[in-house]
Every structure is written in C-alpha cells, then in structure tokens.
Amino acid sequence: MNHYRNILIAIDFSVHDHQVAQKARGLATQLNASLHIIHVLDNIPMPDTPYGLVIPLNEDSSYPLLESEKNKFKQISDKLDIEPGCRWLIWGEPQQEITRLAAQQQIDLIVVGSHGRHGLAVLMGSTAKDVMYHADCDVLAVHLPES
C-alpha cells in the first residue's frame, strides 16, 4: 500500500483545532509525509487588497482584522512546525478552497474535524461532508466530542 505523502489539515480557529491538528501531525510524522495547513477566510469582509485570494504571509497589511487572523494562523502553524511554503491562508468558501488547494498541491489526505464553528446541529452536515463529497483524495474526519 502506498503511504500518504502530502497531508493537509483544515482548521477553522474553533476549540477543536488542536485535536484535528494533533491527529494530522501524528500521521505525518509516522509516515514521514509533508504537512500542509489551510484556513479559509469566510467570516471577515474582504478588503480592497492589491493581492489575490491567497494571502501573502510574509507581508504586513494595513487591515487589522486580517493581521489578527494571520497571527492566529502563524501561531498554530509554528506550533505544528509546518514549513512556510506549506501554509495557506485563502479568502473564499471553505469546501471549495480546501478541495481546490488539495488538487493543486497534490495532497493525498485531507484531515478535517467532524464539526467545527458551525456546531453540532449540522454534525457531518457542512464542511466535512462537503469536502468528502468533492475531494479527489482521501479525507479523514476526526471524531470530535459533543461539548
């Protein structure tokens, strides 16, 4: 059996990120795979920026909300020891951007939480399910507790 070579963690800045990220980190270490991380900006208004949908992480912007999201993303990515070139902060719709990036970066496993910011009412009913349905690669939905 071929091992996974490129693993992508999708984080939504919810309290569950730690659990999802630890599962992906553990797998990547065991399999000696590259670890990528994505957060899709779907909850702050998009400013009139000179760059496109992919946020350059090494440039400061004059948009405080974006800087705060970048800082959160940097902290999590640093903790997981993810290479700078494997960090993806992107404007858009989560399912679309996660599956688009996965295809573009030849990801062979996407790791998501079974639920997140959208809560339990839609357990496996939103991003996780949509990613599973649309991805061209395997998807691991990490089971999360109900609290």
Integer-rounded Cα radius of gyration of the chain? 15
Report the residue number, 34 or 95, with the smaller CB distance to ligand AMP.
Answer: 95
Question: Which residue is it, tokens 């030849």?
Answer: 106
The Cα 60–Cα 113 span in angstroms is 30
Map the footprint of ligand AMP across residues 95-134, applying CB under 6 A.
112-113, 115-118, 122, 126-128
Question: Which whole-number Å values give the CA distances from 84 to 3, 68, 114, in the listed order?
Answer: 23, 18, 27
**Minimum CB–partner distance for residue 1 and ligand AMP (Å):** 25
Sign of CA dihedral 49, 53, 57, 58: negative
Member of 4, 7, 8, 20 binding ligand AMP (CB under 6 A): 20
Q: How far is the CB of 104 from ligand AMP (least distance, A)?
A: 16
| Residue ranges in 41-100 that form contacts with ligand AMP under rule CB under 6 A | 42, 94
Contact between 40 and 14 under an 8 Å Cβ cutoff? The reply is no
Among 8, 24, 38, 86, indicate the residue that binds ligand AMP (CB under 6 A).
38
Number of residues that bind ligand AMP (CB under 6 A): 20
Q: Residue 105 carries which side chain, given as an amino acid letter?
A: Q
Binding residues vs ligand AMP (CB under 6 A): 10-12, 16, 20, 38-40, 42, 94, 112-113, 115-118, 122, 126-128
